[in-house]
Amino acid sequence: MTVFLNNRAASGSRYFPEINEPAILVTPLDWGLGHATRCIPIIRCLLALNQPVLLGGCGDSLKVLRLEFPDLPFVLLPEYNMRYPKENMLWNVALKLPQLLSTFVKEQQVIKALYKNNKIKAVISDNRYGCFHPDIPSILVTHQVFPIVPLPSVEKGIQKYVQLLINQFNACWIPDMPEASSSLAGKLAHPMVKNARCIGPLSRLAPQENLINPAFKALFLLSGPEPQRTYLENIIREQVASLDGNYSLVQGLPNQVNAASFKEGNLSVFPYVQANELSLLIANSEMVLCRAGYSTLMDLAFFGKKAIFVPTPGQTEQIYLADQLHEANRGTTVSQDKLILKEAIKKAELTDGLPKYKPNIGEDLLMDAVQDLLILCEK
């Protein structure tokens, strides 16, 4: 069952799903795949409680959710279509500011239309700040309560603005542990703000026992916005042939989910893999090279893997997260323009690897948060 809302909001041309009762809309941001993948455990929790769910989103992030939940209805939301051509995050955002503001307004139009037509009873929005409604419970999922920006002189102002946006929601769910000592997000999420609660780390993957003799020396796990995703892939494929051992590369392209894997010398290439296959690939690899996106870090922490972090250029959040783990000897970090695979692999071998989460860690925190949301829906 599908639903489409076009971007011509003023035209009034909309199609809605045929659902028996108002659903809980779950809608992730479309900057990379991580916002979508970490919504999967939330959706699973809602379905386990027999709650009707409406998927929302666009682009690759919506494709990820539809691949995981093909029978759920969905609604198209406007695209942010964020790209990172520059290494300065503020400049990237400034270039897109008019579109960002326009998309925020369009999100509000979609939410109002869904509510008016009695299609939703609550909203769970992962970093879509325009997806809330004052008359129904609205939840924001984010780990960036205190975003880091490259200009300290404006950082406090931006953080205060983010707080104002967060306060439009009934609650802010942080996918992390409550204790700062066991936190992955660090100062991005701590100290806690008044309407925030931790729901535990979220991962769609099924943790596997790491193999004693893994088939791959390293798994190259690509994600994030273009064109930087492609730039990193090109760097890897240019260097990997000269390395000893076997390697695998997941391109992270949901639109090629049906494309067959193939091999180039010592490199096995997978255009896209779903959760179970990715879990097996991680378990069957000695280490992982990846971006330092927060959702990726949560995934890897369930395996306790050694890792090479290559932050997306200009993403200060990823640089901070990677540096924190590097300093704790939990991984090694290298900038994209200085990546030499042979050297990075040697450094990663000397690290302790990520602290390994227990498979069920934080499950009670998520369940409690969802049940409190359902209580709000009944009021």
- Summarised one tens digit per residue, pLDDT across range 210-255 is 777 899 999 999 988 888 999 999 999 999 999 999 999 999 999 8
Classify residue 211: in a domain, yes or no.
no
CA neighbours within 13 Å on the CB side: how many for 97? 6
What does the pLDDT average to over 190-197?
Answer: 86
Residue 89 has pLDDT above 60, yes or no: no
pLDDT digits (tens, 9 = 90+) for 136-147: 999 999 999 998
Residue 7: per-residue pLDDT? 40
Quote the pLDDT of residue 314. 82
CA distance 247 to 243: 9
CB 228 within 8 A of CB 86: no
Please check whether residue 208 lies inside any domain of the structure. no
Total domains in the chain come to 2
Residue 169 lies in a domain: yes
> Residues 156, 185: one domain?
yes
What are residue 321's DSSP bridge partners?
none
- Residue 210 within any structural domain of the chain: no
What gap in Å lies between CA 230 and CA 235, rounded to an integer? 9
Check whether residue 34 and residue 119 sit in a common domain.
yes
Give 292-339 pLDDT, tens digit per residue.
999 999 999 999 899 999 999 888 899 999 999 999 999 999 999 999
Q: Closest Cα partner for 242 from 347, 343, 332, 335?
A: 343
Q: Are residues 374 and 341 in the same domain?
A: no
Question: For residue 207, what pLDDT is reported?
Answer: 78
Q: Are residues 186 and 221 in the same domain?
A: no
**Separation CA 61–CA 76 (nearest Å):** 11
In a domain, 153, yes or no: yes
Flag whether 356 is in a domain. Answer: no
Asked, for residue 354, whether it belongs to a domain, the answer is no
In degrees to the nearest 10, what's the CA dihedral of 158, 160, 166, 170?
A: 180
Same domain membership, residue 225 and residue 186: no
Q: What is the pLDDT of residue 170?
A: 96
pLDDT band for position 12 (cuts 50, 70, 90):
very low
Residue 354 has pLDDT above 50, yes or no: yes
Q: What is the span of the domain harbouring residue 271?
A: 216-349
Q: Are residues 33 and 135 in the same domain?
A: yes
My answer on whether 195 and 220 are in the same domain is no
Rounded CA separation 15/3 (Å):
6
**Closest residue by Cα to residue 187 from 173, 174, 200, 202:** 174
How would you label 93-121 residue by residue, b for 16+ Cβ within 10 Å and e otherwise? beebeeebeebbebbbbbbebbbeeebbb
Are residues 220 and 163 located together in one domain of the fold?
Answer: no
Lowest mean pLDDT among 71-75, 98-102, 342-346: 98-102
Q: What's residue 267's pLDDT?
A: 97
Minimal CA–CA distance to 358: which of 316, 302, 290? Answer: 302
Q: What is the C-alpha to C-alpha distance for residues 113 and 115, in angstroms, rounded to an integer?
A: 5
pLDDT at 110: 92
Residue appearing with tokens 């960036």? 144
What local confidence, expressed as pLDDT, does residue 151 receive? 74
Q: Mark whether 33 and 178 lie in a shared domain.
A: yes
Residues 94 and 243 in one domain: no
172 & 290 share domain? no
Has residue 13 been placed in a domain? yes
In this model, does residue 104 exceed pLDDT 90?
no
Interval 154-167 mean pLDDT = 87
**Amino acid 120: pLDDT:** 96
CATH of the domain at 326: 3.40.50.2000
Percent of the chain with pLDDT over 90: 65
